[in-house]
Chains A and B, each alone.
Chain A
């Protein structure tokens, strides 16, 4: 198999690079192991001040309406955090108090939506809260198994009976000017959250739950669909097993599912993520990039990898694959001419691209741009 560009990793960075290249008429393949950080995406991107327009248009073309707005978002633990780029159904609050009275609605037995924390956070900021629980007969089968009441399972039920939930909430609602709901709506159909907002008797907002994130999974599915509509080849549930490098140029890779047949490419983009996604691997003595054995920037002394405070910024998160200025991955001190490293595999090595989502989007654009503007190699 031969492609213009072979992309390793199907998360936000890999999909962004793939879509951008397909939009430019390139033939690409994405090899994706499965779950990625998008499944925990809270619906809001931080630190994406740069390239606002390009990012917004990118999402809108994929059928994912987003808005750039300065404001605070209400976090699941009841705290407020600044937000910039958000999915359309994520409500941002320009100031506190966000309302005078809020109704917080949960499904009975759903422990992954923290109503008490939300109420406390809001009340501290001047909003009186009331907590109500919904008990729909359609959820009974979930309750039979003690571990089934999780966000995605509820969302599957809600895809077909969200209107009943709305009807019940309308009965519960008294004089509150804000209704808070868990993000368990619109797993398959992205239009449902908007319909719920329109049908409720007061302004409403969807607040995050414990992962997996329903809007995150939906976003991932929409990006993947967009990529495939553009003609991209998405190899789901596959894993790259080896890579061939000759004279500083990557020529091909093999994957577990394709067995011995190789995937050849003119360019390669490594978007395999951080530790969780196995893009980086830590041993007791070093941090390595397991596939290409690229150079990784990390601290030699393991004592320096961590801070004792769990909530402090952890140095190990800043470790990442070394690149040159144009994101060419470095191996044995030399940049590989046709391999770009993008997204969280870079850790904190490229602060110029912002953090997390900003890093994924902007490095993916940069790599795709470099590929589309360069002359084909002969």
Chain B
């Protein structure tokens, strides 16, 4: 190693690195400054006739977490299956095509997902929802009166699942690709079938990355905006787990996009404060994901 003297180049590079710290501090700082006035605001000043910030934020945070969690419930098995298929089963050409498909899914703009969700997916799901509601209505999630439009929390979650799938799949795929060849060859040598090999050698090795990948997907789903805003039929201040009805809790991000363009004054502050809450939640989720992966490398 060369001696580390403080050259201008080194200082410049360090400053660039520091800009990351500065940028995050600025995000936090400016959102705090602009959002602060809303914390003490009361009835009449806040959007949606909310009595205070907590009444506004609580149901929205609940909605965000609910929809994102259900999205991961769908996305994780498919992402895991796809990643395993890609790494252990797929012929090279199929893998290339599939990898391209994943890239494309990841890159489709969320506003296009929104258009697709409201015009294609939701109407197509209304029928199945009515069936689920009729036959499995005893499950609390499927209770209530099924929406005839299909624009429910479940549809929003399904759109989100498609959107976060590529991210989760790619995290898991990278981890699976790192499984030591020796473990795999060893398992094969012992006469294990492909599935046994995966179960015994690959999955334990990639376990943390699978968890981390789903956390990252969850973080992405929590912050996803336009698709949910366009697809979901929200009811203000609602906290509920019925997924098939017309009345659904809204998400923080979707509410922001719907309300912000026509807000002014203290309403804007309230929305920025909500953005701060969303920032905090996604940061926590992502930090947890990183912590899980970092633990492994130590």
A and B form one complex? no
Q: Which residues of B contact A (CB under 8 A)?
A: none
